[in-house]
């Protein structure tokens, strides 16, 4: 056993490097370098295989605390998100956690839900508690970036471009184009856009994709059909009510986020409008809940888990003082359900 446990009143001793070394017939230093994947270790393949076999037979697990003292690594990655309630971030967390576990790391997640900030999260973490920090969604100030630089802590924006030139993002503009092109192909000409928060980089990229798709379809952009919202159901509902109170309501709505689309569907129902018979709705991001809305929502599926995984990979492999600018593009696909149809005659 590798953990000290109680068994019938007797304490089972933790397996050590020395135990593995004796079983494999090598020095303890060799075992340590095999465990830590030392690229400079030069031993015969059969010796390495013997050490790995001994590790497996004895179920040896490195002591995480001692290992961090030797390597100056904590085996922990921090992730700061705006809101735990948003299911989009749950997908990103899943991907990041899987990638971290594959590298013998754990993921520590915090949010700004309780009024916190990235700086407050950094202060709570303190120096030496994480090997790097991922910042998803929320803004970061120049002062906070300076704190990260002073601590020598690698960091990376997740689906947000910003200062410092270190980010990994999704192709949000492409996703928006796919959504709006679907509506144009169905014959819609008055296509509204319920956008995201004004300070969100993702919202701007999706707005740009919306405008590009309209131009490609020979349609003029109408400012009266563009309403700023947020990425929550209530914000989506408020934005949709403003759209529908206008003199010429749209026949289709492109929503920047799937959770906001829930509010849009609710507002359409409150106005007595049938989806998709009178108004079509399509949104960015596909989550399991989209298939169970009334009607089931047409979406553009984005690689959220792949984004989280790639963010961890880059954070742990890219030098902290070098720019990282990467776009995770695949897979992006239109998922057609029952919320879109040709416009009413």
Is 309 in the same domain as 165? yes
Is 289 in the same domain as 141? no
Q: What is the pLDDT of residue 216?
A: 97
Q: 339 in a domain, yes or no?
A: no
Q: What is the pLDDT of residue 345?
A: 77
Q: Supply the range of the domain harboring residue 316.
A: 74-170+305-328
**What number of other Cβ atoms are within 10 A of residue 275's Cβ?**
22
Count of the separate structural domains present in the chain: 3
Q: 341 in a domain, yes or no?
A: no
pLDDT in tens, 154-192: 889 999 887 677 899 999 999 999 999 999 999 999 999
Q: 150 in a domain, yes or no?
A: yes
Q: 250 in a domain, yes or no?
A: yes
Picking from 269, 186, 209, 200, the residue whose alpha carbon sits closest to that of residue 228 is 200
CATH number at residue 312: 3.40.50.2300
Is 103 in the same domain as 165? yes
Is 36 in the same domain as 91? no
pLDDT in tens, 56-106: 898 887 655 444 434 456 788 989 888 888 899 999 999 999 999 988 899
Is 195 in the same domain as 214? yes
pLDDT in tens, 126-144: 556 788 889 886 666 777 7
Maximum alpha-carbon separation in the chain = 84
Q: 104 in a domain, yes or no?
A: yes
Is 136 in the same domain as 184? no
Is 223 in the same domain as 131? no
SS3 breakdown of the chain: % helix, strand, coil, rounded to 5?
A: 45, 15, 40
Q: 337 in a domain, yes or no?
A: no
């Amino acid at each position: 056993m590798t953990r000290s446990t109680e068994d019938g009143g007797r304490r089972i001793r933790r397996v050590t490097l020395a135990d593995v070394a004796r079983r494999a017939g090598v020095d303890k230093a060799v075992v340590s370098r095999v465990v830590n994947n030392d690229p400079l270790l030069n031993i015969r393949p059969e010796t390495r295989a013997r050490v790995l076999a001994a590790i497996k037979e004895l179920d040896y697990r490195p002591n995480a605390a001692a290992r961090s003292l030797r390597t100056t690594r904590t085996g922990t990655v921090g992730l700061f998100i705006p809101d735990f309630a948003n299911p989009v971030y749950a997908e990103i967390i899943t991907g990041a956690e899987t990638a971290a576990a594959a590298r013998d790391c754990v993921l520590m997640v915090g949010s700004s839900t309780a009024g916190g900030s990235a700086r407050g999260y950094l202060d709570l973490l303190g120096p030496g508690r994480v090997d790097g920090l991922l910042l998803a969604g929320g803004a970061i100030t120049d002062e906070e970036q300076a704190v990260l630089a002073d601590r020598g802590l690698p960091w990376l924006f997740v689906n947000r471009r910003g200062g410092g030139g270190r980010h990994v993002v999704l192709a949000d503009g492409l996703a928006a184009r796919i959504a709006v092109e679907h509506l144009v192909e169905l014959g819609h000409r008055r296509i509204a856009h319920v956008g995201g928060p004004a300070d969100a980089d993702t919202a701007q990229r999706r707005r740009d994709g919306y405008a590009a798709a309209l131009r490609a379809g020979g349609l003029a952009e109408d400012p009266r059909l563009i309403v700023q919202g947020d990425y929550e159901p209530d914000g989506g509902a408020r934005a949709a009510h403003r759209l529908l109170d206008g003199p010429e309501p749209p026949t289709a709505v492109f929503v920047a986020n799937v959770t906001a689309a829930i509010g849009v569907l609710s507002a359409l129902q409150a106005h007595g409008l049938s989806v998709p018979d009178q108004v079509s709705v399509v949104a960015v991001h596909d989550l399991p809940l989209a298939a169970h809305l009334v009607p089931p929502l047409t979406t553009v599926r984005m690689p959220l888990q792949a984004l989280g995984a790639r963010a961890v990979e880059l954070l742990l492999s890219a030098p902290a003082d070098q720019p990282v600018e990467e776009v995770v593009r695949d897979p992006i696909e239109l998922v057609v359900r029952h919320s879109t149809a040709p416009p009413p005659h």
